Amino acid sequence: MQSLKLKQNTQGLRVHCSKCKRNFNHDKLKNCKHGSSQTYKTIVYLKGKTPTKNHETKSFEEALLESIRFRKKVKTDTIHISTEKIDNKNKFNPETGNIVVAANLYLMYKHNEGDDVAIQEMKELTPDYLNTIQRNIELFIDVTAKKIQNFKNKPLCNLTKFDIKYWYLHVQNSYKETSWASHKKALKYFIDYMIDFHSLKMTNPFNTVKWPSKSGETKAITKTEFDAVIGSINNKSSTRQLGGVRKETKSYYRDYLKDGIRLALFTGLRIGEIVKLRWSDLQHFDNKLMLVCRNDKVETLKKETVRPKVVPVGKQLHELLNNLGFENNKDSEKYILFPERGIKNTTLANNISKGFSHFYKMAFPHERTKELTCLRKTYISYLKREAGKNTIQLTSHGNDKTLIEFYLDPRVVAKGAEIKIFDESS
């Protein structure tokens, strides 16, 4: 009997083998050869307990639906910051309701629970995202409660910009600059929800938060540094203890991490563009292979279609593409990176970006941590050496055909194709 089908999912759905006496995820299922002994099983990891459910169905789609229902049933007992369970919005008084009760209401809303969730508003958010929201709200409450007496019982509508200063200083001193914006966003959205859904008469104090400008200019990465980061991914710990009161650990290793980092170095594209690359984006121009992709950042700012980006495929990039399956997938609509993805592009991009910073820190614990953007800086620096003033043609009218026919100089493409990152010979 064939093995059960299992795709990557965020619902805790696994395949259990009674002969192997273990549970398999989508990546490890190939190691089990006992198809007749396999059943679907949902595992929900909660603080202090691990509820499970065996599914009788042999259909992955049906098992996934049952898994979603099971998770919703068991998780409501763990989403609350306090032990008081809030069942409907009528229990929150906009004039006297405190921040703990409000936080519980908001968390229920984000989990698609409670009376104020319309069916068209429901979103199936990932467990990591939901945990981040709760962690950020808990951090604010705990930090502020240590400085302001009886803060947890204070009416939320009385929260002012002066009350959030302790949290503001704590985040600056305890967290990386790259995470400051996400801390603010989680709390801003929380208060916006209470104003819009529960009629609080207040001004959102988090609208006043402005973080200091990030220090320092993005610097290129050296070959020694890059090799050390790749080596760190191979050899060092993939987990890091998070800040905040819960002291959770998080894994940063992903099977696609090294390929994503190499694509960033050899294309100079932003990570949001890299995760959207498809094999059909590879085109030939004047006998030179190149990647043609949308300029997402400029299109977002201008809210209009702009000239696409062109990345000449040099030797290093060509070798990487071959390793990723160029010959078998060329001209297809499959993604180049992690084609069988079961996560959003934004999640994939975030995993690569944070993973790079984590493993850079592992490789150089006493140095200022570099971010993924340093790879783009490195690529453009080497590209400029090859293409000179024509670099702009390769880094950012209307459509691909117009670009190829009227805007690209074959000599510029040829120069760009000669780029070799970390080659210091001139």
Give the CATH number of the domain where residue 260 resides: 1.10.443.10
Which pLDDT belongs to residue 345?
Answer: 93
Residues with Cβ within 8 Å of 388's Cβ and at least 6 positions away in sequence, in order, are 415
Residues 149, 275: one domain? Answer: no
Is 254 inside any structural domain? Answer: yes
Q: How far apart are CA 125 and CA 107, in angstroms?
A: 12
My answer on whether 198 and 233 are in the same domain is: no
Is 141 part of any domain? yes
Whether residue 139 is found in the same domain as residue 251: no
> Is residue 19 situated within a structural domain?
yes
Contact 82, 98 (CB under 8 A): no
Are 254 and 289 in the same domain? Answer: yes
422, part of any domain: no
Whole-number Å distance between alpha carbons of 239 and 262? 21
Q: What is the pLDDT of residue 82?
A: 47
Domain termination site, one of 144, 175, 208: 208
Q: Note the pLDDT of residue 393.
A: 55
**Tokens of residue 265, six digits:** 């170095």
Q: Is residue 94 part of a domain?
A: yes
> What is the pLDDT, as a whole number, of residue 88?
44
Dihedrals φ, ψ of 112, to 5°?
Answer: 65, 35
Q: Are 285 and 413 in contact (CB under 8 A)?
A: yes
Quick check: helix, strand or coil at residue 54?
strand
Beta strands at 239-241 and 52-55: parallel, antiparallel or unpaired: unpaired
Q: Are residues 228 and 290 in the same domain?
A: yes
Q: Are 220 and 378 in contact (CB under 8 A)?
A: yes
Residue 261 · residue 334 · CB < 8 Å: no
Whether 413 and 273 map to the same domain: the answer is yes
Q: Which amino acid is at 93?
A: N
Distance CA 58, CA 35 (A): 11
Task: Give pLDDT, residue 241.
Answer: 64
Kindly give, in sequence order, each residue whose CB lies less than 8 Å from that of residue 42, ignoring residues fewer than 6 positions away. Answer: 11, 12, 13, 14, 52, 53, 55, 63, 66, 67, 70, 71
Pair 42, 148 in one domain:
no
Taking the C-alpha atoms of 371, 376, 378 and 381 in order, what is their torsion angle to the nearest 10 degrees?
-140
65, 137, 176, 413 from 378: Cα distances, Å: 46, 38, 23, 19
Q: What is the domain extent for residue 257? A: 223-417
195 and 325 share one domain? no
Q: Are 422 and 223 in contact (CB under 8 A)?
A: yes
Per-residue pLDDT of the chain (426 residues; tens, 9 = 90+): 688 999 888 788 999 999 888 999 888 888 898 888 999 999 987 756 788 889 988 888 888 888 887 877 776 544 455 434 444 444 688 899 999 989 988 888 887 776 666 777 777 777 778 888 989 999 999 999 999 999 999 999 999 999 999 999 999 988 888 789 999 999 999 999 999 989 899 999 999 999 886 555 567 899 999 999 999 998 756 666 665 555 667 789 999 999 999 999 999 999 999 999 999 999 988 788 989 888 877 667 666 777 788 888 999 999 999 999 999 998 999 999 999 998 999 999 999 999 999 999 999 998 888 999 999 888 888 877 776 655 555 555 344 444 344 444 555 555 666 778 887 654
What is the rounded distance in angstroms from the CA atom of residue 349 to the CA atom of residue 358? 14
Residue whose tokens read 């004039």: 95
Q: Is residue 282 domain-shared with residue 361, that is, in the same domain?
A: yes
**CA–CA distance, 359 with 234 (Å, rounded to integer):** 10
Give the C-alpha separation, 426 to 424, whole Å: 6
Task: For residue 269, tell me if it sits in a domain.
Answer: yes
**Residue 26, domain member (yes or no):** yes
Confirm whether 5 is domain-assigned: no
DSSP string, 56-92: ----HHHHHHHHHHHHHHHHTTTS-SSSSPP--GGG-
Question: Is the same domain home to 274 and 359?
Answer: yes
Regarding whether 138 and 23 lie in a shared domain, the answer is no
- Boundary residue ending a domain (75, 98, 121): 75
pLDDT score at 89: 42
- Count structural domains, the chain: 3
- The enclosing domain of 142 has a CATH number of 1.10.150
Q: What is the pLDDT of residue 397?
A: 37
Q: Let me know whether 196 and 238 are in one domain.
A: no
